[in-house]
Structure formats: structure tokens, C-alpha cells
Amino acid sequence: MTADPAAELRGRLRAVKDPVLRSARLEGVLPQRRMIPELVRLMADPRIARWALNIPSPYRTSDGEEFVRRARAGRRKGTWLALQLLRRADGVLVGGIGLHHLDPVHGRAEIGYWIGRPHRRRGYASEATEAISRFAFRRLGLYRVEARMSPGNTASEAVARSAGFRREGRLRESLRIGATRRDEVVYGRLRWERSGRRR
Ligand SMILES: CC(C)(COP(=O)(O)OP(=O)(O)OC[C@H]1O[C@@H](n2cnc3c(N)ncnc32)[C@H](O)[C@@H]1OP(=O)(O)O)[C@@H](O)C(=O)NCCC(=O)NCCS
């Protein structure tokens, strides 16, 4: 990164072109309005909002529109890269992945992911997590990517592990959920660490 790492990261994000990610079975593309009806259908599963805490539930068309707007603004500002995951074979929307809290000064970001219920347990989240981590290190020049999840989200922990992230610890009461507080488990992967993928 240069003397102005924020400007450099913004420039790198603005330069990305679809498909931003390409892996064996998936493409990661910038959020598209035409995908909103399918997004709303997949988000009808309440377990997504239960674990991915920034996702509204029930999820309405207006939430999808707001998501597309905020994703565009986040990329322009250099704070958030949100992608929709499409199956390459037929273009079907299977989930979403993103890099949040992009921090150009320290070269780090937090990854978030979800996969629609009909598409789970096929390795898609692991495949996309590996692809976006590589993109973060190589194309955005980041040094560290984190994944944070609520204790008990064993599927999310397994995804992080299978993409080469290491469990680093538990942040006590780091989230405020209404009137209560909740711990978070933290996984991290550094630029020089190898992928954990076996597939
Ligand atoms: C977590 C989630 C993204 C996993 O997606 P997925 O595509 O089914 O995950 P994968 O198929 O890549 O599975 C990766 C690993 O997790 C394991 N796994 C997946 N779902 C699991 C479950 N419900 N229970 C236990 N292990 C699970 C798989 O066996 C696999 O393990 P392996 O690599 O040792 O073989 C998906 O369940 C989801 O969207 N959940 C709701 C939203 C959410 O929790 N997001 C994360 C917020 S931090």
C-alpha cells in the first residue's frame, strides 16, 4: 500500500469487475437488483438471521433493495465489498459473501457468509471463503482476514477451519443484541498462511 492506503484500497475496489470471484463451481458478483426476488426467497429461512446478525428477519423486497444500495455505497467508500454467489453451471443464486470493516491502515477485514438452505452441505461456503480470502490478499493487498461467529455456530466454525482459518479465541460480550450482550468466537487467516482446502 502507498502513502494513502485508504485511497489505494478505494481505487482497487472501484476497479473490480464482474465476476469478482471465480472458483470451481461458483462466481461472486456485485449485488444485482434482478436477484432480489430470489434473495428474498432464500432469506425466508429464519436461521440465516439467527446467526448472521446484521441480516433483517423477516426479509422483504425493500431489504433487498436497501442491501443493493448499501453495497454500492460501501464499495465506493472502500468500507465493504459485498458479493452474491451464483452457481456457474446455471447462474442460480446460492448465497452471499463479503468483506466488512475493511481497514486499509492495518490491512485487514472481516468476512461474512451465508448459503441458502437448499444449497447447503455441498462445500459452497468453504469454496467461496477460500476464493474471497485469496482475493483479499492478492487483489486488495490485505494482510489479515477474520471470521467472527456466535458460540454454537458449528457450521460457520467448520467453514472457517476448512478455508484455513485458525481459531484465535473468544471475545467476551463483544456484541450488543437488544438488552443483552453476546460473546463472539474469532478465527483469523494471515496472508502467508496456506489454504486449508482439501477439495
Ligand atoms: C454456515 C453456512 C454458511 C455453511 O454453508 P455450507 O455451504 O453448508 O458449508 P460447507 O458445505 O462449505 O461446509 C463446510 C464445513 O462445515 C460443515 N457443516 C456445514 N453445515 C454444518 C452443520 N449444520 N453442522 C455441522 N457442520 C456443518 C461441513 O461438514 C463442512 O465440514 P468439513 O469441511 O470438515 O467437511 C450455512 O450453514 C449458513 O448459511 N448458515 C446460516 C448463516 C450463518 O450462520 N452464517 C455465518 C455467520 S458467522
Helix (H, G, I), strand (E, B) or coil at 57: coil
pLDDT by residue (tens digit) across 146-175? Answer: 999 999 999 999 999 999 999 999 999 999
Q: Judge if the beta carbon of residue 114 lies within 6 A of ligand 1.
A: yes
Q: Judge if the beta carbon of residue 120 lies within 6 A of ligand 1.
A: yes
Q: Between these two residues, 110 and 1, which has the higher pLDDT value? A: 110
Q: How far is the CA of 125 from the centre of ligand 1 (A)?
A: 7
Q: Judge if the beta carbon of residue 87 lies within 6 A of ligand 1.
A: no
Q: How far is the CA of 159 from the centre of ligand 1 (A)?
A: 5
Out of 81-90, 142-151, 189-198, pick the least confident. 189-198
Q: How far apart are CA 189 and CA 167, in angstroms?
A: 9
pLDDT by residue (tens digit) across 115-152? Answer: 999 999 999 999 999 999 999 999 999 999 999 999 99
Whether the per-residue pLDDT at 194 is higher than 90: the answer is no
In 50-179, beta strands by DSSP E: 81-87, 93-103, 108-115, 144-149, 166-177
Q: How far is the CA of 96 from the centre of ligand 1 (A)?
A: 13
Q: Judge if the beta carbon of residue 124 lies within 6 A of ligand 1.
A: yes
Q: How far is the CA of 14 from the centre of ligand 1 (A)?
A: 31
Q: What is the pLDDT of residue 146?
A: 98
Q: What is the pLDDT of residue 196?
A: 67
Q: For residue 197, what pLDDT band results from cuts at 50, 70 and 90?
A: low
Atom 20 of ligand 1 has which residue's CA nearest to it? 155
pLDDT by residue (tens digit) across 12-68? Answer: 999 999 999 999 999 999 999 999 999 999 999 988 988 887 899 999 999 999 999
Domains contained in the chain, CATH given: 5-147 (3.40.630.30)
Atom 37 of ligand 1 has which residue's CA nearest to it? 155
Whether the per-residue pLDDT at 1 is higher than 90: the answer is no
Mean residue pLDDT of the chain comes to 94
pLDDT by residue (tens digit) across 59-70? Answer: 999 999 999 999
> What is the DSSP-derived secondary structure letter of residue 144?
E
Whether the per-residue pLDDT at 199 is higher than 70: the answer is no
pLDDT by residue (tens digit) across 89-115? Answer: 999 999 999 999 999 999 999 999 999
- The reply to whether the predicted model has a pTM over 0.85 is yes
Q: Judge if the beta carbon of residue 84 lies within 6 A of ligand 1.
A: no
